[in-house]
Amino acid sequence: MTAILAVFGSGTYLFVSRSFYRQLDKKLLTLAQAATPFHAKVQENGSNYLNQVDEVPWRDIFNRDRQSLEWFDPEGRLLATRGELTVKASPQVGSQTETMPASPHYIRSYTISVFRDRAANPASESPQTSPNQPILEGYIRASQSTEELQTSQQQLLWGLITGGSAAVFLSAAGGVWLTRKALMPLEKNLKQLRQFTADASHELRTPLAAIKSSVEVMQNHPERIHPKDIRKITAIASATDQMGHLIESLLFLARADSEQTPQLPSWHPISLQELLNDIVALFETTAERSVIKLITKIPEDGVVMGDYNQLHRLFANLLRNAFQYTPEGGSVTVSLSRFHRFCQVSIIDTGVGIPPDKQTLVFERFWRADQSRSQRQQGTGLGLPIARAIAQQHGGKITLSSKVGEGSCFTVSLPVAPSIV
């Protein structure tokens, strides 16, 4: 809008300015033409002639304070002048502009040639000139200061600037208002969708808990189950667990979206060294079972403000993935370091890696790499979105660097607890 108005404003300014000058030239031409009948007399009698005549044809259109009229002979020598304005340049047919001494204004002049009919003065005929060609008698120049014109130009410029600014302001305000109005139903729908996801997940918990406890009761009394049904009951138990995880994850994300998650009140200073050691201890058996080396590099402690359970969930998700996508004989490293006002926890694996074009997608909800489906049947594609949501809730972020076939490194940066900084 600003660009359009700037182009429109400049165009208008240039066009109107040019038409101002054209009008001034027309005015000066009329003035010069009015002085033409006196040229022959001025040439004959000198400038005194003008003092002797009472009535001059340009009287009504001439302003002697701001304009001047000059008569020249054919060689451009000044014969007579009228008016207060002094023009220095020699006459040139057409329009001319020159600066005014000690003034920001200009002098605009218009010069016309004055011809005499050859029939009126046959004596001056020269043998070289053709009989129909008129004889040049001299020039008349009408000039005027551009003060008035420049004032009008300035007024036009200010008018355009004020009008343009008002238009930009109004269109910006209108744009904001319209966008808000247009987005309102969309925001409402989004809010309703989040609320629905949160409500549905919440409502599904109770029947699922009933199924789970019933299955557990059945599994606790295997003698009551027909041997042929044992595998079916195990499958039901596993599917119920998976559904439980999915519902919990959905509920977590829905709450994180609508910012319903209890925050600061449940936050405490958390020692990342202790937290990471707790999680590493949980994964030691997994490491042994999968023949993957679990390395910890936690040289010093880092304390952050946050919710212990949430942060536990964040790092456990990352470690679970690291073990999941690392083949036998590989390694998983957990390291803690401090970078300015942030604690950085990196989970580095030597696993399958993630292709560059998929590295942003892994944080999308329900996104799972094709090959991972076969690797991990239990996955939901919500582990990393949850990890990112927790990091963001804690004022931090999670970044990923990975190379296919070499491994991945997920780094979580969390702000150091204020009292520790």
Token representation of residue 251 = 């509920």
**Using the rule CB under 6 A, is 354 a contact of ligand ADP?**
yes
**Using the rule CB under 6 A, is 256 a contact of ligand ADP?**
no
| Contact characters 282-321, ligand ADP, x per CB under 6 A | -----------------------------------x---x
**Residue among 255, 368, 388, 394 that touches ligand ADP (CB under 6 A):** 368
**Using the rule CB under 6 A, is 78 a contact of ligand ADP?**
no
Distance of CA 132 to the CA centre of its chain: 71
CB of 235 to ligand ADP, least distance (A): 20
CB of 280 to ligand ADP, least distance (A): 16
**Residue among 369, 399, 401, 420 that touches ligand ADP (CB under 6 A):** 369
Residue by residue, DSSP assigns 222-284 as GGGS-GGGHHHHHHHHHHHHHHHHHHHHHHHHHHHHTT-S--GGG-EEEEHHHHHHHHHHHHH
CA distance 370 to 354: 11
**Residue among 138, 330, 383, 396 that touches ligand ADP (CB under 6 A):** 383
CB of 285 to ligand ADP, least distance (A): 19
Number of residues that bind ligand ADP (CB under 6 A): 21
**Residue among 9, 138, 381, 396 that touches ligand ADP (CB under 6 A):** 381
Side chain identity, residue 100: M
Give the HSE-up count for residue 294: Cα atoms under 13 Å, Cβ half-sphere.
19
Contact 133, 117 (CB under 8 A): no
Residue 206: its H or E element: helix 147-220
CB of 320 to ligand ADP, least distance (A): 7
Token representation of residue 8 = 């429109």
**Residue among 150, 290, 380, 399 that touches ligand ADP (CB under 6 A):** 380
| Contact characters 330-349, ligand ADP, x per CB under 6 A | -------------------x
The pairing of strands 67-72 and 135-145 is: antiparallel
Region for residue 375 given its phi and psi (left: phi exceeds 0; alpha: psi -120 to 50; beta: otherwise): alpha
- Chain contacts with ligand ADP (rule: CB under 6 A): 317, 321-322, 325, 349, 351-352, 354, 362, 367-369, 372, 376, 379-384, 408
